[in-house]
Amino acid sequence: MWRDTRMIMLVAVVAAVYAAVLLPFKVFTILPGLTSVRPANVFPVIFGIMFGPAAAWGAAIGNLIGDIFGGTFGPGSLGGFVGNFFFGYVGYKMWGNLGPLSSGSEPNFRDSAALQIVEYVIIAIAASAACAAIIAWWADALGLVPFTVLGPIIITNNAIASVILGPPLLYLTYPRIKEMGLLYHDVMRDEDLSAASPSRRQLAAYGMLVIPLVWLGAGVFLGAAPGATSIVALGVVGLVLFLACAAVGAERLSTIRNAVAV
């Protein structure tokens, strides 16, 4: 799938950085054994935009390492693995695909900075919601903690870190990563860069935004309703629809960069 060992190196680097910043904050617990204060949550989003699939795998592995060495490893860790994978995957598929809400430029926060911030915030919220919905659904299905409790905590925790810290970190790191030739489209083979029509890319991107938000809202509503038993079924439907959007969508940063280069 990948041109050389650089993509594997990026997986390892993302996992190491994510775990290294997660672990010191494990002591600031929000829900014992499940979640804590996590400023490291900025990394899956910005790394996903820059490193693509490597960031998704790195975030999933890094979160698992954090669970193992932070004393929170357990049945819920599978949900954490999948949720954090998509926490890092959403930015890869969404950047540049939001139509009028996209800046049409690289995420360097120098060109069209105001519109880049709007685009980034939307992506950060979508990624945070996807991660929150998947983890809360899995925890609820296992009987660990109700969806209506965990879902809002995770999306808030994720969004605060990624929205506040993401733009300045991308401003500082994106040009340097680009100069080093480590953006995902520099490392992946051309045939492995997904292709799709503009309309399909945009539809998939908005699906990846709307579906997790609706999933979270409906889950909280159903969880608050007396005798509600449909959260698991809702999660199955939400996950299938979200996966379908992730599968049919396509990245666009490589075409944006090539257009700028020309």
pLDDT over 90 (residue 3): no
Cβ 147 vs Cβ 136: under 8 Å: yes
Q: How far apart are CA 158 and CA 225, in angstroms?
A: 26
Give the tokens for residue 253.
């940063």
Q: What is the mean pLDDT of residues 53-66?
A: 96
In which band, very low, low, confident or very high, does the pLDDT at 24 lie, cut at 50, 70 and 90? Answer: confident
Q: What is the mean pLDDT of residues 228-245?
A: 91
In which band, very low, low, confident or very high, does the pLDDT at 70 lie, cut at 50, 70 and 90? Answer: confident
Q: How far apart are CA 68 and CA 122, in angstroms?
A: 31
pLDDT over 70 (residue 65): yes
**In the chain, what are the domain boundaries?**
6-261
In which band, very low, low, confident or very high, does the pLDDT at 4 lie, cut at 50, 70 and 90? Answer: low
Q: What is the mean pLDDT of residues 46-70?
A: 95
Cβ 97 vs Cβ 209: under 8 Å: no
In which band, very low, low, confident or very high, does the pLDDT at 262 lie, cut at 50, 70 and 90? Answer: very low
Backbone Cα Rg of the chain: 18
Give the tokens for residue 192.
């492995």
Q: Which of 67-71, 166-170, 180-184 has the lowest mean pLDDT?
A: 67-71
Please give the C-alpha separations between residue 190 and each of 1, 25, 184, 197, in angstroms, as whole numbers.
10, 39, 10, 17
> What element of type H or E holds 29?
strand 29-31
pLDDT digits (tens, 9 = 90+) for 205-226: 999 999 999 999 999 988 876 5
